[in-house]
Amino acid sequence: MEYEAVIGLEVHVQLNTKTKAFCSCPNTFGAPANTLTCPRCQAHPGTLPIVNKEMVHKTIKAGIATNCAIQKVSRFARKHYFYPDLPSYYQITQMDEPICTEGHIDITVLNEDGSSYNKSVRINRIHMEEDAGKLVHDDTGRPLSYVDLNRAGCCLIECVSEPDISTGEEAYQYLTELKKILQYINVSDCNMEEGSLRCDANVSIRPKGSKELGVKTEVKNMNSFRNVRLAIDYEIKRQIKALNNGEKILQETRLYDAKENTTKGMRSKEGAADYRYFPDPDIPVLILKEEEIESARKELPELPQKKRERLKKDYDLPDQDIIVLTEEPELADYYEAAVKAYPKQPKKISNWIMVEVNACLL
């Protein structure tokens, strides 16, 4: 039988706010362990959360930039689970009433023969939540782990796509575009190595042309976009092989092993009911005014897709040039300033930037 893959991505992004989500501890990477904490982010009893305005503002920007509807009424909930890096034993997140819903990101995907196609990947939601701390495992061989709460309570957004993605390459392009958008609007540095962007891939397969969704696995532990692509492609092959052998796909969480380029079963998946979600009684319903949404909208710069289309139209450049020049908005600005100074040869200036200038920037 011929199968097709169905993929949905859950992407966690750390916001570059000055302070944490519900207390005023600084949000800084790399400080000595447990120096950026207070009773609230250590979850002492009796401490109360205060919603960080900058987090809300930046999430609205992320929502508008990904074509989402911004909900004037949204709510925080508690998601319960036990893990040593989560001292309150619940995470404050948004469940039934997220702040951003129903967006989409448009991507262009290259075929192997050099041709390309466009696709729109729908976004189910973007919601706000707090990050957990970090476990640091003893590296002298003793069976010890340490808890660092510097990251506990930092601002995260989670962007959940609809299962509209069909290949590892499409997932790669979706992540690249999402990252570019978030960097353009300056809400995150999206540095996967420092953990400020983390991606889980939900993967299932189904008979080609079928409308029903198959049983999915959730693949974690990829530390680069390239590994996300490899993990998905591996997982699709593994599932097809299993079905062809008459095995069942188990709904489970699997870890990607970059050394072997395989995925390994880790645990069966919790259902939402296991988390005992309920509205956080310490945080009032979040109500946004039209002005707050409008002020976020006004702050948005020209977004990557618009910039690419405009540069193509204004300067008639090949696609490859456009991709390089719009890698960072500053480079595109520099290009446009250079063309203004020397308007006769936009393509020559592009060559000069892509070769000479980029070589100096490395």
| Chain positions contacting Zn ion, by CB under 5 A | 23, 25, 38, 40-41
Query: Whole-angstrom Cα distance, residue 336 to residue 2?
Result: 49
> Taking the CB of residue 264, how many other CB atoms lie within 10 A of it?
11
Min dist CB 59 to ligand ADP, Å, is 18
Min dist CB 41 to Zn ion, Å, is 3
Residue 50 or 213: the one with the smaller Cβ distance to Zn ion is 50
Residue 23 or 349: the one with the smaller Cβ distance to Zn ion is 23
Tell me the residue nearest to ligand ADP as measured from the CB: 8
Min dist CB 195 to Zn ion, Å, is 19
Of positions 8, 103, 153, 168, contacts ligand ADP by CB under 6 A: 8
> Which CA distances in Å does 234 have to 144, 173, 237, 240?
33, 17, 5, 10
Is residue 6 within the footprint of ligand ADP (CB under 6 A)? Answer: yes
Residue 52 or 239: the one with the smaller Cβ distance to ligand ADP is 239
Min dist CB 93 to ligand ADP, Å, is 12
23 binds, among ligand ADP, Zn ion, none (CB under 5 to 8 A by kind): Zn ion
Is residue 273 within the footprint of ligand ADP (CB under 6 A)? Answer: no
Longest dimension (CA), the chain: 68
Residue 6 or 322: the one with the smaller Cβ distance to ligand ADP is 6
Query: Whole-angstrom Cα distance, residue 223 to residue 221?
Result: 6
38 binds, among ligand ADP, Zn ion, none (CB under 5 to 8 A by kind): Zn ion
Residue 41 or 171: the one with the smaller Cβ distance to Zn ion is 41
Map the chain to HEC letters. CCEEEEEEEEEEEECCCCECCCCCCECCCCCCCCCCCCCCCCCCCCCCCCCCHHHHHHHHHHHHHCCCEECCEECCEEEECCCCCCCCCEEEECCCCCCEEEEEEEEEEECCCCCEEEEEEEEEEEEEEECCCEEEECCCCCCCEEEECCCCCCEEEEEEECCCECCHHHHHHHHHHHHHHHHHCCCCCCCCCCCCEEEEEEEEEEECCCCCCCCCEEEECCCCHHHHHHHHHHHHHHHHHHHHCCCCCCCEEEEEECCCCEEEEEEECCCHHHHCCEECCCCCCEECCHHHHHHHHHHCCCCHHHHHHHHHHHHCCCHHHHHHHCCCHHHHHHHHHHHHHCCCCHHHHHHHHHHHHHHHHC
Min dist CB 125 to ligand ADP, Å, is 9
Which residue type is seen at 261? N
Is residue 216 within the footprint of ligand ADP (CB under 6 A)? Answer: yes
Min dist CB 163 to ligand ADP, Å, is 4
213 binds, among Zn ion, ligand ADP, none (CB under 5 to 8 A by kind): ligand ADP
> Which CA distances in Å does 129 have to 176, 258, 264, 350?
23, 28, 28, 42
Min dist CB 62 to ligand ADP, Å, is 16
Is residue 213 within the footprint of ligand ADP (CB under 6 A)? Answer: yes
Is residue 272 within the footprint of ligand ADP (CB under 6 A)? Answer: yes
Residue 29 or 277: the one with the smaller Cβ distance to Zn ion is 29
Query: Whole-angstrom Cα distance, residue 344 to residue 26?
Result: 49
Residue 8 or 329: the one with the smaller Cβ distance to ligand ADP is 8
Residue 81 or 146: the one with the smaller Cβ distance to ligand ADP is 81
**Subset of residues 144 to 183 that bind ligand ADP, contact rule: CB under 6 A:** 160-163
55 binds, among ligand ADP, Zn ion, none (CB under 5 to 8 A by kind): none
162 binds, among Zn ion, ligand ADP, none (CB under 5 to 8 A by kind): ligand ADP
Is residue 7 within the footprint of ligand ADP (CB under 6 A)? Answer: yes
Of positions 204, 263, 305, 326, contacts ligand ADP by CB under 6 A: 204
Residues forming the site for ligand ADP (CB under 6 A): 6-10, 160-163, 202-204, 213-214, 216, 272
